[in-house]
């Protein structure tokens, strides 16, 4: 399993070679087509997509529900890392990916369109953590459209209704 320190050295080499680094993060609890669409779109924005996956403990701190995550962190990062559009995936345990972003200094920070790259209020649900830092060193912050009708929460609700 990749660690941030392993990816950091590789990223510096890729950047020195002129490659554009894209960073995103998330829980990716139950992988679905919406996740794949999102990651494929993010991947198209640069040369190398890095995905930081929330640890089990950090998912629990996000108040996603007492039974979340459904899939453990090792399984979630394995699935994300196996996607053709993802070049590297690792687990982070902090509440936010700010430390990861600060270490990797991606050229582009990407989130779903439920976030707002122009939001500057760090307490807003639409604020993109790390955006201030990425913009400060000359990077970019962007959002990609989400596939309507797909969310892990909705998927869990549909499964519960089926049983």
Walk me through the domains of the chain, giving residue ranges and CATH numbers. Answer: 4-162 (3.40.50.620)
pTM summary value? 0.93
CA–CA separation, 63 and 140 (whole Å): 29
Which residue's structure tokens are 């797909």?
150
pLDDT one-digit tens code per residue, 45-101: 999 999 999 999 999 998 777 788 999 999 999 999 999 999 999 999 999 999 999
CA–CA separation, 51 and 39 (whole Å): 9
Q: Count other Cβ atoms within 10 Å, centred on residue 85.
A: 15
Q: What is the CA radius of gyration of the chain?
A: 15
- Higher-confidence residue of 65 and 12: namely 12
CA–CA separation, 1 and 131 (whole Å): 27
Token pair belonging to 151: 């969310």
């Amino acid at each position: 399993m990749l660690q941030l320190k392993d990816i950091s050295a590789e990223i510096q080499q890729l950047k020195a070679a002129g490659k554009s680094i894209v960073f995103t993060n998330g829980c990716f609890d139950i992988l679905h087509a919406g996740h794949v669409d999102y990651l494929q779109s993010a991947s198209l924005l640069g040369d190398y997509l890095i995905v930081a996956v929330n640890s089990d403990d950090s998912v629990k701190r996000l108040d996603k529900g007492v039974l979340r995550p459904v899939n453990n962190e090792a399984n979630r990062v394995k699935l994300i890392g196996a996607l053709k559009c993802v070049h590297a995936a690792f687990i982070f345990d902090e509440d936010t990916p700010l430390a990861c972003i600060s270490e990797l200094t991606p050229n582009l920070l990407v989130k779903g369109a439920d976030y707002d790259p122009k939001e500057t209020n760090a307490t807003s649900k639409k604020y993109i953590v790390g955006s201030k830092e990425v913009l400060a060193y000359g990077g970019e912050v962007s959002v990609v459209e989400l596939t309507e009708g797909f969310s892990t929460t909705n998927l869990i609700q549909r499964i519960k209704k089926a049983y």
